[in-house]
Amino acid sequence: MIRIVRTPGALCDLEGLTLTSALDLAVTQEMVDRFVAVSGDRQWIHTDTRRAARELADGATIVPGGLLVALLPRLVQHAYRVERFSKAVTAEYRQVRFRHPLPTGSSIRATVAIRSAVKSSAFVTVKSACRVTQAQTGACILTAGMTDVYFD
C-alpha cells in the first residue's frame, strides 16, 4: 500500500520507516529495447533474444543496469507519495550496486527505507536506502541510496 502524505513537511513523520512499493513492475523486452535505443547500450545480452535463449542461464536477455536505476523513481512513488508540493527533484544516487542480473520479462518491486527527512524553510530533503528485488524469486537485484528534495 502506498503511504500518502499531504505535504513535504509530513515526510519527516516517515523517518525510520521501511516502506514496500505497491507496484510489481514487469520489465519487458520492449522497455529494454526502447532504453537501448536511447542509451546506446547495445550489448547482445540486452538485445539478442535468440542468442540469450541459447547462451544465458535464464534463457532471456538481461535488463541493463541503467534502466533499473531509471525505474527507481517510479518504484519509490509507489512506496510513498506527497500530495501537495511545488516541485521535486532527485538530487543524488549513491552507492548504486548491481547485485544480481535480472532476466527480461521478470517483475521487480522495491523497499524504501527512509533514513532521514530534514525540513528547511523552503524544502524537505529525504535520504533513503532502496532495495530492488525480483518479485518472482526475491533475489536482490539492486541497492542504492537516493536523495530527493521536495519543495513546498
Q: What pLDDT score does 152 carry?
A: 87
Q: What pLDDT score does 1 carry?
A: 84
Q: What pLDDT score does 139 carry?
A: 97
For 58, the grid coordinates are 535464464
Q: What pLDDT score does 14 carry?
A: 97
Domain ranges of the chain: 3-151
Architecture of the domain made up of 3-151: Roll (3.10)
59 has which bridge partners? none
Model confidence, pTM: 0.94
The tens digit of pLDDT for each residue in 64-89 reads: 999 999 999 999 999 999 999 999 99
What DSSP letter does each residue of the chain carry, written as one string? --EEESSGGGGGGGTT-EEE-S--EE--HHHHHHHHHHH----HHHH-HHHHHHHSTTSS-B--HHHHHHHHHHHHTTTEEESS-SEEEEEEEEEEEE-S--BTT-EEEEEEEEEEEEE-SSEEEEEEEEEEEETTT--EEEEEEEEEEEE-
Q: Which residues of the chain have pLDDT under 70?
A: none
